[in-house]
C-alpha cells in the first residue's frame, strides 16, 4: 500500500500539526488581519490620504488576507485531488508556502480563494467591528487547491477578480470542489 505524503511527512525536522479545522486557528487569523483592517477603516474613511496611500493600505490588507489564509484548512477540487493522489500527495495537508516541495515551479496546482481576496478585503473594511471582521474571516475565507488548468478556465470566464456568485463561477468552469477537511 502506497503511503500518502503529507506536509508533516516531508518537513524534515520541522514539526507542525496538520491543518484540520478553522476554529483553533481563527484567533491567529484574526490577529493577523485586524490591525490593518482597522487602520484601513480609519484611514480610508476619516483621514485625508492620497489615492496612492489608499491603494497601499488596500494592498497591505489583501496581502495579509492571502498570508493569513495559510492558517485555514485548504479544500481541494476533485481534479486536483485525483492528480495529487497519483503522486501520493495529500494536498489538503499542504499550504501555498509548502507547494514547491511537491510541485516545482507551481506548474500543476494553484491555491485559489473561492471568494476573491478583493471581495474579502472590501467586506472586512465595511465591517462595523473586530468581531464582525472575525466572522467574515472565519466564515467567508475558503481556500481551495485547484489545477492550473481549472484556474485558467475561471480567468477565461472573467472570474479572476469579480465573482458575485462563486458557486456559479465554479459550475461554469466545471470545478467540483470537495468540502473543507
Closest CA to 70 of 103, 113, 37, 39: 113
- Of 5-14, 31-40, 139-148, least confident by mean pLDDT is 5-14
High-pLDDT (> 90) share of the chain, %: 47
Q: What is the mean pLDDT of the chain?
A: 80
Check whether 7 has a pLDDT greater than 80.
no
- Contacts (Cβ under 8 Å, ≥6 apart) of 98: 7, 10, 11
Q: 150 or 28: whose pLDDT is higher? A: 150
Check whether 169 has a pLDDT greater than 80.
yes
Check whether 23 has a pLDDT greater than 90.
no
Does the pTM exceed 0.85?
A: no
Domain ranges of the chain: 22-172
pLDDT, residue 3, reads 53
Check whether 108 has a pLDDT greater than 80.
yes
111 contacts 96 by C-beta, under 8 angstroms:
yes
Grid coordinates in use for 119?
471581495
Check whether 45 has a pLDDT greater than 80.
no
Burial of 135 (0-12, 13-18, 19+ CB in 10 A): middle
Amino acid at each position: 500500500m502506497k503511503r500518502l505524503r503529507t506536509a508533516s511527512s516531508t518537513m524534515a525536522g520541522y514539526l507542525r500539526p496538520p491543518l484540520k479545522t478553522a476554529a483553533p486557528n481563527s484567533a491567529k487569523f484574526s490577529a493577523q488581519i485586524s490591525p490593518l483592517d482597522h487602520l484601513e477603516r480609519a484611514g480610508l474613511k476619516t483621514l485625508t490620504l492620497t489615492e496612492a496611500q489608499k491603494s497601499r493600505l488596500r494592498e497591505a490588507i489583501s496581502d495579509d488576507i492571502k498570508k493569513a489564509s495559510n492558517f485555514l484548512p485548504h479544500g481541494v477540487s476533485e481534479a486536483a485531488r485525483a492528480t495529487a493522489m497519483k503522486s501520493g500527495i495529500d494536498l489538503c495537508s499542504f499550504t501555498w508556502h509548502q507547494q514547491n516541495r511537491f510541485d516545482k515551479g507551481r506548474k500543476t496546482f494553484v491555491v485559489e480563494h473561492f471568494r476573491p481576496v478583493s471581495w474579502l478585503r472590501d467586506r472586512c473594511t465595511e465591517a462595523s467591528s473586530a468581531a464582525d471582521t472575525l466572522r467574515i474571516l472565519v466564515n467567508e475565507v475558503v481556500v481551495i487547491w485547484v489545477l492550473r488548468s481549472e484556474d485558467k478556465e475561471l480567468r477565461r470566464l472573467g472570474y479572476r477578480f469579480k465573482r458575485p456568485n462563486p458557486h456559479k463561477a465554479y459550475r461554469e468552469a466545471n470545478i467540483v470542489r470537495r468540502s473543507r477537511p
